[in-house]
Structure 1
Amino acid sequence: MTIDLRLSGGRIATPHGVVDADLLVSGERIAGIVSRETAVDAARTIDVTGKLVLPGMVDVHVHTREPGYTHKEDIRTTTEQAAAGGVTTIFGMPNLDPPTTDTATLRDVFGMYERSSIVDYNHNPAPTKLDEVVAMSEMGIRAYKIYMVVDTGRTYPHPAGTGMHDHGHLLQLMDIIATTGKRFIIHPHDQALMDYIEGEILARGENTPQGYATAYAAREGVIWDTAIDVVLRLAEASGCPIHIAHIQTPRSIEAVRRAKANGVDVTCEVNHWAPFLSTWDDVERLGPYALSYWLPDENRAAVWEGMRDGTIDIASSDHAPHTREEKEVGWTEMWSAHTGTPGIQYYYPLMLDAVNKGQLTLDRVVDMVATQPAAAFGLEGVKGVLEVGADADIVVADLNAPWTITNDGVLSRIEWTCYDGREISARIDRTFVRGHEVFADGVVTGAPGTGKLALSSTDREGNAR
């Protein structure tokens, strides 16, 4: 056996628990997990004594901003941050210009990834053109994405062509997607209720970060809860596998818990801002830079509990970069600001820091960032796990490495992070994508074009033939 890489002396997070062993890589796949004493002739050996060897993060919710909004970000800068943050596979989102809604725009976007991505990738098109849905599925996508929202006072980040709100249309779409076997990612939102709630707050002159935060959490999160109840019932009626973005209220988490118990094929995600950036102090201190959304204390407590008990399956960043100029307007006109926060570079380290603080177990973190997203989105056995035959998507992390996140270390084109000044205890040391080192010792070493389209094992076999 030819061994290209041996990671020696570390503790490996396997599907059966953490083991003291060495990890072997041959070509682009994991070739073995062996005892320290096993004699192997390896082309390269890296001493990772005292470190954790983890599966790379599979981030199914990433806004690359390319094409159309590359003044904010692009695929290269997004995937540089991914490599630095231990993310080895990203799924891009369709709210681009032009939006990804058909085979032509999807083919163009895949070409951009092929030229520029440092990590592996896929893309979630918006299935708003019904006659294009099946054809896009056949191009290798793992999921679709729709927004049940219309922006108030702006046309971005939810541009025309990416939204669908009528319940009949949603059910029709779920019926079609169900035939493809792919998962349907839904940004839940009750637009009619939001129009009323926003109207009341704006009529009082509260076009501020505090007013915006209050609107989206109003009446115990009613805009989220009613939308998610509808989505879960339609999923049950159609048999369509669904994935709920932005889970954040106790009632919604409980609704997902019940749906799972009743056999509905539903997964849901927690984004970086919910556990780590959603307090009222964050809103007061950072204003538009913290929004995304505000979670009242009881909501945040429910999110942490859902993460711990497995109701919330998946951690995905919702990486959503905007320039300072697009944020600054929000101090006085929040409904004109672009909402969303960058997060892909720091989410995995923040999750590992939560392990050190006793807020999550390491098993839960690995499950949420890697194993579950791979399994739910058709990459089981290929991504998200350290076992023989899987892609060598590997992260070496040091859980005893205190450091401070600063704007100076940001690799995003926007050059700021909402976590500037935050001290954490865990650091990503190295990242490998299919055995290729793309980040080491604080430097992105991967080249644009290193990444490949992430396909299921079945699709890979078909391509090989």
Structure 2
Amino acid sequence: MTIDLRIAGGVVVTPSGPTTADLLVDDGRIAGLVAPGVAVDAARTIDATGRLVLPGMVDVHVHTREPGYEHKDDILTTTRQAAAGGVTTIFGMPNLNPPTVDVETLTDVFERYASTSIVDWNHNPAPTKFDDIVPMAKMGINAYKIYMVVDTGRTYPHPAGTGIHDHGHLLQIMDRIAGTGKRFIVHPHDQALMDYIEGEVLARGENTPQGYASAYAAREGVIWDTAIDVVLRLAEASGCPVHIAHIQTRRSIEAVRRAKAAGVDVTCEVNHWAPFLSTWGDVETLGPYALSYWVPDENRAAIWEGMRDGTIDIASSDHAPHTREEKEIGWTEMWSAHTGTPGIQYYYELMLDAVNRGELTLERAVDMVARIPAEKFGLAGVKGALEVGADADIVIADMQHEWTITNDDVLSKIGWTPYDGRTISTRIERTLVRGRDVYADGAVVGEPGYGKLAAAPAELAAETAGTEGN
């Protein structure tokens, strides 16, 4: 019998740890691991000598900007960046135009992914139309997403239709989602407190990157901490699995740690900007190009501790591209700028670079980018791990390749990265999705439309059964 592919000579990072072995792939799935030199008839062999063989990243927080904001990015350009960055599955976000809030808009988004995505995909609609929550779950989604925020001075990136602010309404939605078994992603934010804090800053005329950064981190991050306390308590009351986006304060991390110990089904994520792009020096040097948010040093130390001890489960990019024009206004009118930063192309490499620097173990980095997001978002056994039977979503990385990120390498439409000029020590050389190259030899080689819906195993089985005899 001939298998499709043998990846030979590398160190394979399995759920049990790194092992020197050859990885076998057949029919798009992991077929086994064998000792180097063991005879296996393979149609193709990739030499991974001196390289790490890793599971592809499962990024559950990605803003594709399609439909409605394709001048920033679209599904094709986003998944080109994903392929180059070792991301083999993306979960899109609902803040689109129209926002993804019902069966009709979700159907449209699914069709767009199916037409142009290079990597596998899912999507997180907003559960703001109560009667569409269960029907959307039946379409194969694995999570929902809402914002507890209203934009001040702009209508984007948190458009109407994607937010829930009343706590009673939030509990009602959690009760309905709990019945679906899906996870509920919450962008935490205490809007009433923020209205007061922002009002004080703007009244002083501090409509600047520094003013904006200070407002969102004010009083040790009170707008985040109070909102997260509410979400955790409502998750406990409803039994709804929740996922906290944008974790960034010491108190919030402690609250999540306590909730987990109490048995609450909660996960949380760290986005690329928190450990790698959130110092005050970044705010002063890059201004709007670094915001997202400022993370004071005490909170950044807590983030690294939470990443190391597992309180922070998941690394998600929060890939949020905006054009230079949409950023430049922020130097003098930061509340009018579009906030968020692109991140999907370099996050995996930044995490591996942190491993080289001794800030994370390799096992923790791989757990955060692959195993845990797959497990917690309904894809265990399908994605996130190099184990027999799982999809052959594979990354080959050189851990001793020093290079400098530049804007010239950026595959996004916006043409810039906040990491321009940063030198790191690792390089992703190849990305495979279901055993097929999507990135190799420095180029994206995946075909638009190759990506498919990444659904839970039971839903995949039902989908297959539904097509039998057709």
Per-residue CA distance 1:26-67 (angstroms, 9 max, x = gap): 011000111012111111001110000000000000000000
Query: Match for residue 309 of structure 2?
Result: 309
Q: Secondary structure at the match of 2:44?
A: strand
**Number of the residue aligned with 1:251:** 251
TM-score, length of structure 2 as denominator length = 0.99
Match of 2:326 in 1: 326
Partner residue of 1:418?
418
Residue 331 of structure 1, CA deviation: 0.1
Match of 1:174 in 2: 174
Distance 2:346 2:353 in 1: 10
> What is the alpha-carbon distance in structure 2 between the residues aligned to residue 47 and residue 371 of structure 1?
25
Map of 1:276 onto structure 2: 276
> Is 1:296 aligned to residue 327 of structure 2?
no
How big is the shift at 1:68?
A: 0.1
| Equivalent in the alignment of 1:41 | 41
Aligned counterparts, 1:384-403, within 5 A: 384-403=384-403
- Describe the SS at the equivalent of 1:214: helix
Partner SS state of residue 401, structure 1: coil
Aligned counterparts, 1:201-216, within 5 A: 201-216=201-216
Cα offset, 1:441, TM superposition: 1.4
Tell me the TM-score normalised to structure 1 length.
1.00
SS at match of 1:375: helix
The corresponding residue for 2:87 is 87
Residue type of the alignment partner of 1:272: H
Q: Does 1:145 align with 2:145?
A: yes
Match status 1:240 vs 2:243: no
Aligned pair 1:63/2:52, yes or no?
no
Q: In the aligned structure 1, how far is the partner of 2:269 from the partner of 2:248? A: 9
Q: Which SS does the other structure have where 1:42 is aligned?
A: coil
Aligned to 1:460: 460
Give the number of aligned pairs.
465
Letter aligned with residue 232 of structure 1 = L
Q: Which residue does 1:449 correspond to in 2?
A: 449
Q: 1:320-359 to 2 correspondence within 5 Å?
A: 320-359=320-359
Work out the CA distance in 2 between the residues paired with 1:123 and 1:436: 23
Structure 2 letter corresponding to 1:216: Y
Q: Which residue does 1:363 correspond to in 2?
A: 363
User: Within the alignment, does 1:100 sit opposite 2:100 as a pair?
Assistant: yes
Determine the structure 2 residue equivalent to 1:381.
Answer: 381
Q: How far does residue 399 in structure 1 lie from its aligned partner after superposition?
A: 0.3
**SS of the counterpart of 1:105?**
helix
Which amino acid is the alignment partner of residue 248 of structure 1?
Answer: Q
How well do the aligned residues superpose, as a CA RMSD in angstroms?
0.4
SS of 2:413's equivalent in the other structure is coil
AA aligned opposite 2:302: A
Letter in 1 for 2:176: I
Does residue 115 (structure 1) correspond to residue 115 (structure 2)? The answer is yes
Distance 2:289 2:460 in 1: 41
Q: Give the drift of 1:247.
A: 0.2
2:437 & 2:176 partners in 1: Cα distance? 40
Question: Following the alignment from structure 1 to structure 2, what is the Cα–Cα distance between the partners of residues 431 and 135?
Answer: 34
1:223-238 equivalence runs, <5 A:
223-238=223-238
CA offset digits 1:70-108 (Å, max 9, x no partner): 000000000000000000000000000000000000000
Distance in 1, Cα, partners of 2:2 & 2:320 = 42
Q: What residue number does 2:434 align with?
A: 434
SS at match of 1:289: helix
Q: For 1:455 and 1:136, how far apart are their aligned partners in 2? A: 13
* Separation (CA, whole Å) in 2 of partners of 1:442 and 1:402: 15
User: Which AA in structure 1 matches 2:361?
Assistant: T
Query: For the residues of structure 2 that align with 1:267 and 1:395, how far apart are their CA atoms?
Result: 25
> Which letter does structure 2 place at the counterpart of 1:256?
V
For residues 316-373 of structure 1, the C-alpha deviation after alignment (integer angstroms, 9 at most, x for no partner) is 0000000000000000000000000000000000000000000000000000000000
| Other-structure match for 1:161 | 161
Deviation at 1:456, TM superposition (A): 1.0
In 2, the alpha carbon distance for the partners of 1:445 and 1:292 equals 31
Residues of 2 paired with 1:98 and 1:30: CA distance? 39
The residue aligned with 2:13 is: 13
1:76 has 2:104 as partner: no
Q: Which amino acid aligns with 2:46?
A: I
How far apart, in 1, do the equivalents of 2:246 and 2:15 lie?
Answer: 27
- Amino acid in structure 1 at the alignment position of 2:257: R
Please report how far the alpha carbon of residue 2 of structure 1 lies from its aligned counterpart in structure 2 after TM superposition. 3.1
Residue 36 of structure 1 aligns to a residue whose secondary structure is coil
* Number of the residue aligned with 1:194: 194
The separation in 2 between residues aligned to 1:348 and 1:35, in whole angstroms, is 27
Which secondary structure state, in structure 2, belongs to the residue aligned with residue 3 of structure 1? coil
List, as ranges, runs of 4+ consecutive aligned residues in structure 1 with deviation greater than 2 Å: none
Give structure 2 stretches of 5+ with no counterpart. 466-470
* Whole-Å separation in 2 of the counterparts to 1:98 and 1:38: 54
Extract unaligned runs of 5+ from structure 1: none
**Secondary structure class of the residue paired with 1:268:** strand
Question: Helix, strand or coil for the counterpart of 1:220?
Answer: helix
User: Which amino acid counterpart does residue 162 of structure 1 have in structure 2?
Assistant: T
CA distance in 2, matches of 1:464, 1:317: 31
Q: What do the CA deviations read for 1:200-249 (whole angstroms, capped 9, x no partner)?
A: 00000000000000000000000000000000000000000000000000
Query: SS where residue 179 of structure 2 aligns?
Result: helix
CA distance in 1, matches of 2:17, 2:96: 40
In 2, Cα distance between equivalents of 1:437 and 1:335: 42
The one-letter amino acid of 1:48's match is: A
- Describe the SS at the equivalent of 1:292: coil
Q: Residue 28 of structure 1 aligns with which residue? A: 28
**Which digits, 9 at most, give the CA deviation of each residue in 1:231-270, with x for residues without a partner?**
0000000000000000000000000000000000000000
C-alpha deviation, 1:460, in angstroms: 1.1
Give the C-alpha shift of residue 158 in structure 1.
0.2
